[in-house]
Amino acid sequence: MRLLIFSDLHGDLRALERLLDIEADCYISAGDLVSWARGLERCAGALQRRGERVYLLPGNHESAGLVAGFCAQFGFHDFHGKTLRAGAYHVAGLGYSSPTPFGTPGEYSEAELAERLKPFATLRPLILICHAPPYDTALDRVRDGLHAGSTAVREFIEKRQPERFFCGHIHEAEGVEIRMGRTLARNVGKPGYLLEL
């Protein structure tokens, strides 16, 4: 089974078309298809090529309600707080980021993120996809000395050790891959990542 995971396109339809040209069983957006919740309908035509194989998370630039309505309207899967089976694996998704200085539409407190991750804690083997990266790692590094990830996401990974973890949110870290104990973790960003199971 092939999962194509990508994030933070921010309205780049050309990049979206390139990603959808790749053959996969599931196409999972880890959030921020658009900026400031504007122009989501413009993505619909491209995404409809893959129809029921499309799974969407809200990033910090989209609200959960906006993404749920968009999925209902165009026949995609709202993946926020949900799971799917990929062979032997449980794949779980959680959108939104921890608080930002910008007051974007899709932000949770760290306590809310921790609470919303709880239903995934007993799933084994687990592939976890979040918009938010784990705090104070190479995946959330904006520049030297500045990290903008989630402590709740980091604590979940350290405690539960999913097989794989994928995120977006911090553009400066796209493509970076690290080990966190047994977990192989990657910021997929706009180029995306094709996971073959």
- For the chain, give every domain's residue range: 2-196
Token pair recorded at residue 48: 């409809």
What is the reported pLDDT for 5? 98
Chain-centre distance of CA 22, in angstroms?
18
What is the reported pLDDT for 176? 98
Residue 72, C-beta contacts closer than 8 angstroms, at least 6 positions apart: 78
What is the reported pLDDT for 91? 98
What is the reported pLDDT for 36? 97
The full DSSP string for the chain is -EEEEE---TT-HHHHHHHHTS--SEEEE-S-SSBTTB-THHHHHHHHTTGGGEEE---TTS-HHHHHHHHHHHT-EE-TTEEEEETTEEEEEE--BS--TT--SSB--HHHHHHHHGGGTT-SSEEEEESSPBTTSTTSEEETTEE--BHHHHHHHHHH--SEEEE-S-GGGTT-EEEETTEEEEE-TTT-EEEE-
What is the reported pLDDT for 170? 97
> Is 2-196 a domain of CATH 3.90.580.10?
no
Q: Do β-strands 193-196 and 2-6 pair in parallel, antiparallel, or remain unpaired?
A: antiparallel
What is the reported pLDDT for 191? 97
Residues of the chain short of pLDDT 50, as ranges, are none
Token pair recorded at residue 194: 């094709």
